[in-house]
């Protein structure tokens, strides 16, 4: 951690991180629920990465206040919307701000608080689950569509810098098609990132997550799927390769082997991985990143697999998606989007509805 702090003291590097954050992830913010006007207003006022978290927290607080006021006035639907949006803003305040863990944790606690308060007022409502794992807790949000169950369900798996608070719009795409959602913070992610480091063998925490999901009222334990984005696009097929309960899997812009890509990753991403993997230094992080590989796992991927990738992805190359498709024996479809960036956030309309349709079809009775 000291190495990260020392690196972050360099102001020129801080400014380059600010430029990289906006350049790499701008479409992701609006696709995740940030108002386009807010994004422009917040980022145009920034001159240094050091101010990122505070500026986003101030904007988040405005939305939280709107939600608190709406709740006091019994405008519960509006309250749910405002508070869920505030959670997204607080999440983006902390998402890669690992050089100041005090600010990061305060923003994260606010994100969790806002979403937890919003859950009963969402449509359909959500419920917080806490899943014991390895002496710690995996926090998750379960949302179940209206109507008689049992319902099929999909586990939504974040990446290195995403978390369950970011998934509201993704959840809605599946819920609208009758598929329940469980958005999770796995090892190294969200609420678990302080106690559980990133790990390659996602079939282990994944088993605990699937156990908890299968036990929920209204959920059909025989119709469970996975959806993962970015590093979650590695975790999802890794879990699918090790747990026969998975009926179908969507991998969105994931790496085949993270370690092979280390040198081309943005500095913010490398810094976050060092912290969230529990690495001693960069060399240890590279060693750990090389363990996040699908080598030796693809032969077990026999369930239907949808792989989505963008040809303009500057973080994980689209060729990794082709490599995954060509290495699995089961039915695999590749949706390759010519204009898609990392996560294909800039063309979410091209893959979110399609992936939700695909998953609902695979999980049909």
Angle between helices 11-31 and 267-276 (to 10 degrees): 90
> 113 with 133, same domain?
no
Q: pLDDT value at position 17? A: 87
Are residue 34 and residue 147 in the same domain, yes or no?
A: no
Domain closes at, from 98, 122, 146 = 122
Do residues 349 and 286 share a domain? yes
In this prediction, residue 2 carries a pLDDT of 39
The strand pair at 126-133 and 332-337 is best described as: unpaired
Q: Which residue, 92, 122, 152, sits at the end of a domain? A: 122
Which of 68, 97, 122 corresponds to the end of one domain? 122
Strands of the chain, DSSP E: 126-133, 136-143, 151-157, 180-184, 219-229, 246-252, 305-310, 332-337
29/91 same-domain check: yes
Structural domain containing residue 17: 1-122
Instruction: Please tell me the predicted confidence (pLDDT) of residue 158.
Output: 98
pLDDT at 365: 64
Low-confidence ranges of the chain (pLDDT < 50): 1-14
Same domain, 147 and 27: no
**Domain CATH code at residue 49:** 1.20.1440.110
Statement to judge: residues 144 and 287 lie in one domain: yes
Q: Do 81 and 193 share a structural domain?
A: no
50 and 153 both lie in a single domain: no
Same domain, 103 and 209: no
Total domain count for the chain?
2
- What CATH number is given to the structural domain containing 353? 3.40.50.1820
Query: Which DSSP state fits 75?
Result: -
Instruction: Please check whether residues 365 and 288 belong to one and the same domain.
Output: yes
The pLDDT value given to residue 81: 98
> Both 30 and 160 in a single domain?
no
**For position 3, what pLDDT does the model report?**
39
Any idea how long the chain is?
A: 365
Do 239 and 318 lie in one domain? The reply is: yes
Tens-place pLDDT, residues 77-106: 999 999 999 999 999 999 999 999 999 999
């Amino acid at each position: 951690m000291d190495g990260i702090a020392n690196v972050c003291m360099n102001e020129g590097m801080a400014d380059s991180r600010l430029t990289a954050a906006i350049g790499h992830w701008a479409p992701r913010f609006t696709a995740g629920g940030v108002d386009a006007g807010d994004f422009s207003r917040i980022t145009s006022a920034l001159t240094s990465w050091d101010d990122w978290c505070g500026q986003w927290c101030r904007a988040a607080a405005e939305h939280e206040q709107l939600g608190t006021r709406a709740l006091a006035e019994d405008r519960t639907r509006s309250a749910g919307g405002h508070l869920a949006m505030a959670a997204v803003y607080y999440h983006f305040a902390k998402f890669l701000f690992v050089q100041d863990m005090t600010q990061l944790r305060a923003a994260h606690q606010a994100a969790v608080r806002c979403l937890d308060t919003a859950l009963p007022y969402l449509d359909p409502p959500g419920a917080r689950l806490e899943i014991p794992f390895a002496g710690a807790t995996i926090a998750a949000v379960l949302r179940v569509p209206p109507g008689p169950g049992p319902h099929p369900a999909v586990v939504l798996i974040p990446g290195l810098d995403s978390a369950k608070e970011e998934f509201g719009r993704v959840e809605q795409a599946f819920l609208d098609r009758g598929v329940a959602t469980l958005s999770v913070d796995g090892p190294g992610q969200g609420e678990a990132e302080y106690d559980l480091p990133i790990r390659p063998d996602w079939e282990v925490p994944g088993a605990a997550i699937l156990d908890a999901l299968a036990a929920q009222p209204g959920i059909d334990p025989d119709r469970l799927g996975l959806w993962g984005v970015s590093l979650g696009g590695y975790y999802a097929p890794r879990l699918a390769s090790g747990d026969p309960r998975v009926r179908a899997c969507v991998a969105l812009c994931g790496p085949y082997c993270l370690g092979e890509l280390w040198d081309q990753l943005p500095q913010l991403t490398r810094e976050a991985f060092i912290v969230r993997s529990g690495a001693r230094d960069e060399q240890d992080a590279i060693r750990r990143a090389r363990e996040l590989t699908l080598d030796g796992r693809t032969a077990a991927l026999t369930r239907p697999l949808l792989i989505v990738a963008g040809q303009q992805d500057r973080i994980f190359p689209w060729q990794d998606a082709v490599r995954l498709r060509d290495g699995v024996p089961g039915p695999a479809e590749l949706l390759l989007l010519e204009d898609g960036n990392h996560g294909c956030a800039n063309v979410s309309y091209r893959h979110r509805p399609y992936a939700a349709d695909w998953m609902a079809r695979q999980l049909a009775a």
